[in-house]
Structure 1
Amino acid sequence: MEDKVRAAVAAVQAKENEYLKDLEMSTMMLKWIAEECERENESEKVQQLEEGVLDVVKCMNELKHHIDALETVRQEYKYEGEPTDFAHILQVQEKHFSDTRPENPKDNSWYKKFEEAVWNVHHAGIPVGGHGDDEDVIITNSQFNLVNHSCPLTGRLVTDLEDPVWHVECHHVYSLEGVENHLKTVRQRSCPCPSSGCPRKLTRNSVKCDNELLAQIEEMRHRQNAGSSARPAVSVADIAADEEEDDSDAEESEEEEMS
């Protein structure tokens, strides 16, 4: 019984991580639209998009708390011979994470990317909200700040990689297959990072693929293909409709998995 519950919870977690990725991508699309609106001095639309990003970020925070609550159930669940009220357990755990990990949406990294991108349309090189004074800290463009644009092992562009991973310390991006083949070639579990001059060690466990990497690659791909002045072929209404549909699907899937 316990193994079945843990397997069901893990399946729900995997789906919710996909929903989280979709929400993160939504903030990127809203950002792209806002950049174009800012270029056209449509400040009211930019403000509406900013409010939309803040709403998405709030949803992301709630979803993260739910994923963490599921992880608690997966790790700690023990069958005691009686029906388990999973809904109540998850509710209690979510409240715990919400109370102990409060987050202001405007401190969220995805909101900050939005804020910075809009600001840089007319104020590139000037601190967000600043006037270029010497004591201000210049915030560099972080919209896609990948440290390399091609895999040092395969030579393929990062945007063309089917299995991108990046080093958890130096953030150099590789093809996972390239990493595995390289380690087999040198016949060692670790070797120097193949990027010239990098002092970090490369191992199979030192690289990973996460939502942040995928988002940065998508950002780079968007700007390469469409150009920074192109409006994405997506509307705010489309994004909102997709998110409502995803929320509905998530609730139905979770009920099925936990039943």
Structure 2
Amino acid sequence: MPVASSSRSSKRQRRAVSSDIEEDGPSQAPQQEQQEDVEMDEEERPRRSKKSGKKEKKRAAQQDSDGEDMEEPVEEDIPIPELGDQPLDKNQAAKLRGMSSDWAMLRDKVHLPGYNFIREVASSVAEFTEGEKGEKALTQIDTLMRELLDTEYELTAHEKSLDGLYQKLARNETIEGVTDAYHRGVQEQMETYQHKTSRQKYAKSEHYQKFKQAVYEVQHPDIAMPPLADLIPPEDGDDSDDDDDVQVGGVTQDYKCPLTLTTLVDPLTSKVCGHSYSANAIKEYLGNSKTRSKECPATGCKKQISLAVLEPNRELAKRAKEAARRERAREEDSGDEEVIE
């Protein structure tokens, strides 16, 4: 019997040991993971400390021996290899045409509003500023207008230079040194332009014509403006008998409708002949049909017009209102003078 009891006791001991192992097993696994995490953190910490150490060394190096702060070093960009001025062929023609269109769009968006603004300012100055002060202001505005025209020509020179290169590519010509060719084309046009006289630069400009007209009709109402060249002082090189230099006589801006004989209201301008009419009057004259055409009601004009060729003219509408206002002001002034007498 003692033997049996000893065997049972040994079994109980083994069971107790095994149960202890099973109970202790799960509790030991997290400890091992925590130890591994601690070990990993300890491995990463030196790396991070090294990086921070490097940064501190860089900051320390940025101070001189006297302790003064020095400028932080600028990070250098990755160098891009220069490919040189590659030759162009017909496959790149569309790109040049697109670049040329960009210059044209820039010119139209920037300069057209500028011309209208300067013209309105000049008209107001001519009306409300008198004497030497007014003449000086108008001279400054005139200079500004000419500078704007010069800038427009420069933009046009870029456009024309690109168009010239495009034409060569369209003829299957290969262009070597395209950058130099482009700048050379712009420079040649600008040199030609700069050698022109003031009359040669501005006398045929539609924008300059409108600018001078706006000032002249305020200063000389009901009097036709002389040829634009006569308003520009002559310079050396202006004397020429070429047909291109023949100037058309002056015109008087008429703000009255040829149908109602009153000031234009919501004017519509014909794209065929350039005459303008009050909207309601011309619509009644032509009828409701857009395709039906009649002879232009302006005196001496034989062009056929229809509603389809008429377009609103906001700029003319604004000028017509200003002209009507000036006319009323002149009538009031004349009436006051008669009362005083």
TM-score range with shorter-chain normalisation? 0.5 to 0.7
- Identify the residue that residue 37 of structure 1 maps to in structure 2: 125
- Identify the residue that residue 19 of structure 1 maps to in structure 2: 106
How many residues are matched? 186
TM-score (norm 1): 0.53
Work out the CA distance in 1 between the residues paired with 2:149 and 2:101: 19
Report the CA distance shift for 1:127/1:166 in structure 2 as closer, same or farther (over 3 A): closer
- Identify the residue that residue 233 of structure 1 maps to in structure 2: none
Work out the CA distance in 1 between the residues paired with 2:254 and 2:208: 12
Report the CA distance shift for 1:31/1:193 in structure 2 as closer, same or farther (over 3 A): same
Report the CA distance shift for 1:138/1:171 in structure 2 as closer, same or farther (over 3 A): closer
Contact kept? 1:6, 1:74, Cα under 8 Å = yes
C-alpha displacement at 1:33, in angstroms?
0.5
C-alpha displacement at 1:75, in angstroms?
1.2
Work out the CA distance in 1 between the residues paired with 2:148 and 2:316: 22
Work out the CA distance in 2 between the residues paired with 1:145 and 1:67: 39
SS in 2 for 1:139: coil
SS in 2 for 1:227: helix
- Identify the residue that residue 18 of structure 2 maps to in structure 1: none
C-alpha displacement at 1:118, in angstroms?
1.1
- Identify the residue that residue 166 of structure 1 maps to in structure 2: 271
Residue of structure 1 aligned with 2:251, choices 140, 144, 149: 140
C-alpha displacement at 1:201, in angstroms?
8.2
Q: Which runs of 5+ in 1 are unaligned?
A: 131-136, 149-156, 174-180, 187-191, 208-212, 231-259
Work out the CA distance in 1 between the residues paired with 2:94 and 2:258: 37
Report the CA distance shift for 1:199/1:114 in structure 2 as closer, same or farther (over 3 A): closer
C-alpha displacement at 1:115, in angstroms?
2.0
Higher relative contact order (CA 8 A, sep 6+): 1
Whichever residue aligns with residue 153 of structure 2, its letter is N
Contact kept? 1:193, 1:199, Cα under 8 Å = no
Report the CA distance shift for 1:76/1:55 in structure 2 as closer, same or farther (over 3 A): same
SS in 1 for 2:271: strand
Please, what is the CA RMSD of the aligned residues?
A: 4.5
Work out the CA distance in 2 between the residues paired with 1:103 and 1:3: 39
Q: Does 1:111 align with 2:216?
A: no
Contact kept? 1:35, 1:118, Cα under 8 Å = yes
C-alpha displacement at 1:63, in angstroms?
1.7
Contact kept? 1:69, 1:94, Cα under 8 Å = yes
Cα deviation code 1:65-94 (max 9, x no counterpart): 2221121111112574x8x53332122222
Contact kept? 1:35, 1:117, Cα under 8 Å = yes
Contact kept? 2:296, 2:304, Cα under 8 Å = no
Q: Does 1:91 align with 2:183?
A: yes
Structure of higher CA gyration radius: 2
* % identity of equivalent residues: 14
Matches within 5 A, 1:75-86: 75-77=167-169, 78=172, 80=174, 84-86=176-178
- Identify the residue that residue 121 of structure 1 maps to in structure 2: 218
Q: Does 1:220 align with 2:316?
A: yes
Work out the CA distance in 2 between the residues paired with 1:145 and 1:3: 54
Report the CA distance shift for 1:142/1:8 in structure 2 as closer, same or farther (over 3 A): farther
Work out the CA distance in 2 between the residues paired with 1:92 and 1:115: 34
Work out the CA distance in 2 between the residues paired with 1:5 and 1:146: 52
Q: Does 1:5 align with 2:116?
A: no
Q: Which runs of 5+ in 2 are unaligned?
A: 1-87, 232-247, 260-265, 277-288, 327-341
Work out the CA distance in 2 between the residues paired with 1:63 and 1:144: 34
C-alpha displacement at 1:143, in angstroms?
9.2
Report the CA distance shift for 1:53/1:5 in structure 2 as closer, same or farther (over 3 A): same
